[in-house]
Amino acid sequence: MSILLKASFVYFSIEDETIIIGFADDEFNTKDYVLFQKSLFIDDIPMLNKVHITLNSENRAAYGGIVRIRLSQKLISIILSKETANSLGTDSIDIEYALDENQFNSLISHFHKLNAEQEIVIEVK
């Protein structure tokens, strides 16, 4: 099973030494969203060094489990591991969005920073 999120709001930044990438159906009246977070500091607890994914609610969240990210200027596909898929209730997350070329290049850079110390395959088309 795959989830499709049509994101009218895209946010990415580094705040308090944490990389944050978020996609939402609406900036203020958010119902559907995906949030990726990862600390830039290496923690003694290995799980905390992985990407934290939240899908629509803190009840649907997991650490790690991203196998592959396919990025294009209008669509991102996130392929999840079986364990994370079970936690989130989906095998993959597809996100439709609109960014200009400069924003897209910055988003790619943030995904590469998110992937530091990880084994996520990132494909850019």
CA 55 to chain centre: 9
9-15 and 121-124 beta bridge pairing:
unpaired
Average pLDDT over residues 55-64: 92
Phi and psi torsions of 45, nearest 5° = -95, 110
Domain that holds residue 21: 2-124
Amino acid 42: pLDDT: 76
| Portion of the chain with pLDDT greater than 70, in percent | 100
| Burial of 88: CB neighbours in 10 Å, binned 0-12, 13-18, 19+ | buried
| Number of domains forming the structure of the chain | 1
Amino acid 115: pLDDT: 87
